[in-house]
Structure 1
Amino acid sequence: MFEGHDTTASGLSWVLYHLAKHPEYQERCRQEVQELLKDREPIEIEWDDLAQLPFLTMCIKESLRLHPPVPVISRCCTQDIVLPDGRVIPKGIVCLISIIGIHYNPTVWPDPEVYDPFRFDQENIKERSPLAFIPFSAGPRNCIGQAFAMAEMKVVLALTLLHFRILLTHTEPRRKRGVILHAEGGLWPWVEPLGANSQ
């Protein structure tokens, strides 16, 4: 029950940080939202609109790869699991799964420390295992609120980028691991209101 507010807030904080650090991606997201809502008021953003924001979605996913709100999960094996080298994890053993470790695996993610939203372009995900990116876990016990969380992040980011430019502070955040992945001391981007011509 701890999910749904702190996790989403963590995810939003980190994506705002990355968009501040990469103003070219931030501007592309802003243009995508402006184009989507060009003939409407921002308050008229609807559920179906959220599927029309592919680049914004790519930016969110890449941020979730680098900073998954829940970095580690545990699972109890319901049957013996044979590993590729022949060793066996017996039924009943509780395993810790490092989501952040999977997301930084250089055999799956070249240059894993680099923020690159194009990793999630449709062409680039075709050959990748669906288990290479699991910010909401996977399988029968995955996050039941993941669609809502993604929708929530898209709406907040879209409306924020319509009205503000996100600027980077001069401090580089350090990860503070816990049940939820935070930054030590929090993330404090600066926001600059956009001119009347920018929406």
Structure 2
Amino acid sequence: VVRIGVFGDKPPFGYVDEKGNNQGYDIALAKRIAKELFGDENKVQFVLVEAANRVEFLKSNKVDIILANFTQTPQRSEQVDFCLPYMKVALGVAVPKDSNITSVEDLKDKTLLLNKGTTADAYFTQNYPDIKTLKYDQNTETFAALMDKRGDALSHDNTLLFAWVKDHPDFKMGIKELGNKDVIAPAVKKGDKELKEFIDNLII
């Protein structure tokens, strides 16, 4: 069995449906990896991770692969080995329908909601330390805070936000693209050449 770290609360990438089954893009790729490795797509054990503990789960051998909407960054590359990317992404900002936030400048004097350990968290912490933020461990908590008006805006990967605002018509994209265009890639333990090459060949 291959142990793959995935999200349980980030549709359309990785989520758990009402029947308790793992679903999403990342899950489909995980099943493909299991099928190629063992000839059976069910020979995969899904391990639920949070954004902030993805690196730790690989390093402490709780999982073999991370497939949790994982953006490749230089800092993370020092700790894990990334495979070839399977998706491109930038950051975005979601706001209520009646909001007039359209740029980062508009976030001054506002409260920005962030999911801890995400690219958005790192981006705003490094580049805009003056913006007031509220950070949550879980993705679901961060979005609940936006719906409860505990914050004025929420920043996350824009592909995730586009899918979310489509399902939540009371909200819209205030900023559609922000920061560097990054790539999403599977990650394996540092030095696990065999598994990395195997996944790379699958993605090509």
In the superposition, the TM-score normalised over structure 2's length comes to: 0.27
The structure carrying a bigger strand percent of its residues is 2
The structure carrying a bigger helix percent of its residues is 1
In the superposition, the TM-score normalised over structure 1's length comes to: 0.27
